Structure 1
């Protein structure tokens, strides 16, 4: 199948692109960092790459046009591009950080999905696999806008399936919990490696390869099966009790 992966220059996206390429699919790895894409193409024979900023509608249109001209119709879109910025409470958060998360996690996902869907519906065949997060279900202090964007991913995914009932176009939301071995926390804390490392201290978090294998499993299912959402956590993590603040 022809598969386009967004945010493939590191972390989950890179692992997903590699996994699917090794499984014999035609993979287009996209992302903003041209140097990382060039390195991936050099390391992995047969991998197609293209620079893409998902928050830019023109970049999305140009990338999909190029991909379809190069490899043919896109069978699978993996909406992986996304990020968290900051962990401050809402009254102290950076509004620019909030806007960047919304532009990438929500608008970028919407732009790519809207571009891919018409062809899938016309062919009655396709997969849209969205990377959500348990942060969209279980709030935590400082998760405010990041969690809200991931709640959007879940609701958008099930809403699309409602639109697509009766068609063989699959939509799934993969919603991981604590995930390590990626740039996620380094990005959230704007390059503070020590602060990022503290997040994973004493834990065995999910790895990018676990998410890649989950994507591969979804694509292995019979065509009449749609998995609406998959929530994953490492065994060191679990949902916690509601917070109650008591006076006195």
Structure 2
């Protein structure tokens, strides 16, 4: 057994999880703590993070991934907690805004989606990649979306942003080939969380209608299970791309709906 592997046998693995104030990010942080990882959960909303810390025992830090200064603070806090190495960065922060067609595009929404889903993800990756490389067992895990692989009417802005994040993961996997850093992409389909559709549509009734008649949409915990499996797999195994949908969903735009469900 090498010295690096021996260290991994005795020391908990470490992770930074973005977008951890709600939904998939929150569920992932909680799951990794339950798996025995040391987790730094980050998001913009400090009150939500403090609730998560109280429930799970994870470390938390309020971070805006669209801000260079804020991400510099993340790097400093990561080093303070985990030393000069880090095992995983789980990119969950992101989201969709609006359902306008491309012909009626709200460019402010498009810019915001690109800033969060792509540039914010690049910013955090660039900042924490040196620590991942030093660990000898690093993971970059991107939670993208089927929207990054399949276009659908009213989804063009989100399609474009998530396609950009997907291509970032693809390029990084090539650029890091030969190094001890895995690049993993998890692309969920329909996931029912408390905020995703509400933020996108701005109306509680409209958000609830997204899931009308759909038998068992995915939950945040379902996605956290897949993320946990990917991160805890032996490090010579790389799950390049995992698409995960509810059984009721055959494609981004094709979902079985039944009355009374």
Normalising to structure 2: TM-score of the pair?
Answer: 0.88
Partner of 2:63: 52
SS, match of residue 205 in structure 1? coil
Partner Cα distance (2:229, 2:134) in 1: 25
Instruction: Summarize deviations over 1:150-196 as a string: whole Å, max 9, x none.
Output: 11122111211111111120011100111103310000012x00000
1:196: which partner in 2? Answer: 207
Equivalent of residue 91 in structure 1, options 99, 103, 116:
103
Which residue of structure 2 lines up, in the alignment, with residue 233 of structure 1? Answer: 245
Deviations along 1:24-72, one digit per CA (max 9) or x if unpaired, are 110111100011111212222x210000001111111111211211232
Which stretches of structure 1, 4 residues or longer, exceed 4 Å deviation after superposition?
none
Q: For each residue in 1:96-143, what CA deviation from the matched residue of structure 2 results, as whole angstroms up to 9, or x when unmatched? A: 111110110000000011111122224432000001100111111111
Query: What's the offset of the Cα at 1:241?
Result: 8.9
* 1:153 counterpart residue number: 165
Aligned residues: 240
The answer to whether the Cα contact below 8 Å between 1:154 and 1:229 also exists between their aligned partners in 2 is no
Q: What TM-score comes out, normalization by structure 1 length?
A: 0.93
Query: Structure 1 stretch 62-71 or stretch 169-178: which is displaced more?
Result: 62-71
Deviation at 1:226, TM superposition (A): 1.2
Q: Tell me, in whole angstroms, the C-alpha distance in 1 between the residues paired with 2:236 and 2:78.
A: 27
Correspondence for 2:29: 17
> In 2, Cα distance between the equivalents of 1:202 and 1:241?
15
1:108 is matched with which residue: 97, 116, 120?
A: 120
* 1:245 corresponds to: none
- Looking at structure 2, the residues matched to 172 and 198 of structure 1 have their Cα atoms a distance apart, in angstroms, of 32
Unaligned runs of 5+ in 1: 243-248
Q: What is the SS of the residue equivalent to 1:231? A: strand
The equivalent residue for 2:144 is 132
Deviation at 1:240, TM superposition (A): 7.3
What is the distance in 2 between the residues matched to 1:240 and 1:180? 14
